[in-house]
Amino acid sequence: MVESMVVDKGQKLTWSEMTDKAQMEREGIAVDIQGVTKRFTTQQGDEVTALREVNLKIREHDFICVVGRSGCGKTTLLNMLAGFERPTEGRIIAAGVPVTKPSPRRGVVFQKPPLYPWLTVRKNVEFGMRMQGVPAKERNARAAHFLEVVGLADAGERHPYELSGGMQQRAQIARVLATDPDVILMDEPYGALDALTRERLQNELLRIWQEKRKTVFFITHSVEEALFLATRVIVMTAHPGTVKMDIPVDIPRDPTDPDNPRKVRENPRFQQLRDEITRAIYENSGDEERR
Ligand SMILES: Nc1ncnc2c1ncn2[C@@H]1O[C@H](COP(=O)(O)OP(=O)(O)OP(=O)(O)O)[C@@H](O)[C@H]1O
C-alpha cells in the first residue's frame, strides 16, 4: 500500500515520516541513527561489515566527539550522516527526514581543506553560498562576518596557498558556517596541525559552537581533544564497528578565557575521564598501542 504524502517545507513526506519528524522536534533530536549496519564488498569480492547495529540519538546543540581505533568505522558513519553513503540496514533521520543524499543542512569539514587554489579566500567562503543561490550582496556580508568569526578578516583577498595549514582550516570552517547548516560533521579537522595551532582552533571552535548553537559531530584520534570539546564522547570498537560507550562530559569550560586549555587539562575529572576512555578504546584489543 502506498502511504499518502504531505509536503513540508518543499519536501514530500509520508504520514509516518511526518509523525517521526514532529516527535524528533518535540524531543529536540537533531539526528537519529537507527540500527545502522554498513557492509562493503571489497574489490576481491570479500564482505566487510564496517558497522553493525549502530544506534545513536544526537540532540540539538550536542557536541559529539567520536573516538576509536583505526578502522572502527568512524568515517563510514560520518559519510552516511553526510549522505555520501547509504546504510545497508537501518536508517538515519536528520531534522525529521531520512538522509538519502547530501544536504546543505549538514556541512562537512574535512581534514584536508578542499579550497579552490584559483579563488581568493573570500571567494572560497562564498562558494557554498553561491551553490545555494544566495544573492551576491548577502554572500558578501556573510563571508565578511564568518571570516571575522574565524579570525581571517584580513586574509580575504589572499589565495589558499598563501595561508598556513591552520588558516586554511579556518577558511574551510568559515565556508561551512556561512551556508548555515544545522549540523556540522568534522572528520579529524585538526589531525594535521601542530599542537599549539590545534589548541587555538579547538578553543575557537568551542566559542563558535556556543555562539552559533550548532550541533557538531566530530571525529578525532585524540581522547584529550574529545574531552576538550565534547558534551558527549562516543567510544567505538572495531570488527564490526559499534558504539561501546556514550559518556557525558561534565567539565566546566570557558573558551573566552585564554587559560581555558590549561584549566580543563588540570581538572581531575579530565584525567579520570581520559583514563576511562583510553581503557575502553584499547581493552580487548590484543595490543598495547596507546595514543
Ligand atoms: N569503500 C570501502 N570498501 C571496502 N571497505 C571499506 C570501504 N570503506 C571503508 N571500508 C572498511 O570499513 C572499515 C571502517 O573504515 P573507516 O574508514 O570508516 O574507519 P575509521 O574508524 O574512520 O578509520 P581511521 O581512524 O583509520 O580513519 C575498515 O575495515 C575499512 O577497511
- Ligand 1: does its nearest atom lie under 6 Å from the Cβ of 43? no
- Ligand 1 near 42 CB (within 6 A): yes
Do residues 93 and 174 share a domain? no
Helix (H) or strand (E) holding 271: helix 268-282
Cα–Cα distance list, 289 to 147, 222, 247, 278 (Å): 40, 13, 22, 10
- The confidence score (pLDDT) of residue 217 equals 97
Q: Indicate the angle between helix axes 121-132 and 136-149, nearest 10 degrees.
A: 130
194 and 70 assigned to the same domain: yes
One-character DSSP codes across 138-166: HHHHHHHHHHHHTT-TT-TTS-GGGS-HH
For residues 125 and 189, state if they share a domain.
no
Whether 145 is in a domain gets the answer: yes
169 and 191 both lie in a single domain: no
Tell me how many domains the chain contains. 2
- Residues with Cβ < 8 Å from 195, sequence gap 6 or more? none
- Same domain for 201 and 101, yes or no, is yes
H or E element: which one contains 195? helix 195-212
Does residue 72 line the site of ligand 1, with CB under 6 A?
yes
Parent domain of 101: 5-105+181-282
Residues 185 and 175 placed together within one structural domain of the fold: no
Ligand 1: which residue has its CA nearest to atom 5?
Answer: 40
CATH number at residue 25: 3.40.50.300
Q: Which of 180, 203, 225 represents a domain boundary (last residue)?
A: 180
The C-alpha R_g of the chain, in whole angstroms, comes to 20
Q: Is the pLDDT of residue 83 over 90?
A: yes
What per-residue confidence (pLDDT) applies to 167?
A: 92
For residues 126 and 12, the model is more confident at: 126
Residue 218: which of 243, 245, 176, 190 has the closest Cα? 190
Residue identifier of the C-alpha nearest atom 29 of ligand 1:
71
Ligand 1 pocket, residue 220 CB under 6 Å: no
Q: According to the model, what pLDDT value does residue 5 have?
A: 63
Structural domain includes residue 45: yes
Average pLDDT over residues 30-50: 94
Mean pLDDT (whole number) for 12-35? 83
Same domain, 26 and 160: no
Q: How confident is the model at residue 4 (pLDDT cuts 50, 70, 90)?
A: low
d(CA 172, CA 180): 13
More confident of the two residues 225 and 283: 225
Q: Are residues 190 and 262 in the same domain?
A: yes
pLDDT of residue 172: 93
234 lines ligand 1 (CB under 6 A): no
Above 60 in pLDDT, residue 177? yes
Domain endpoint, select from 153, 180, 207:
180
- Mean pLDDT of all residues in the chain? 89
Distance 50 CA to ligand 1 centre (A): 6
Q: How confident is the model at residue 282 (pLDDT cuts 50, 70, 90)?
A: confident
Query: pLDDT at position 259, please?
Result: 87
Per-residue pLDDT tens over the stretch 138-176:
999 999 999 998 889 999 999 999 999 999 999 999 999
Single pTM value for the model: 0.90
Beta bridge partners of 54: 36
**pLDDT tens per residue across span 239-252:** 889 999 999 999 99
- Identify the domain boundary among 129, 161, 180: 180
For residue 89, the cross-strand partners are: 37
| Percent with pLDDT over 90 in the chain | 66
Locate 32 and state its grid cell. Answer: 537519529
Give the pLDDT score at 22: 80
Residues 69, 202 share a domain: yes
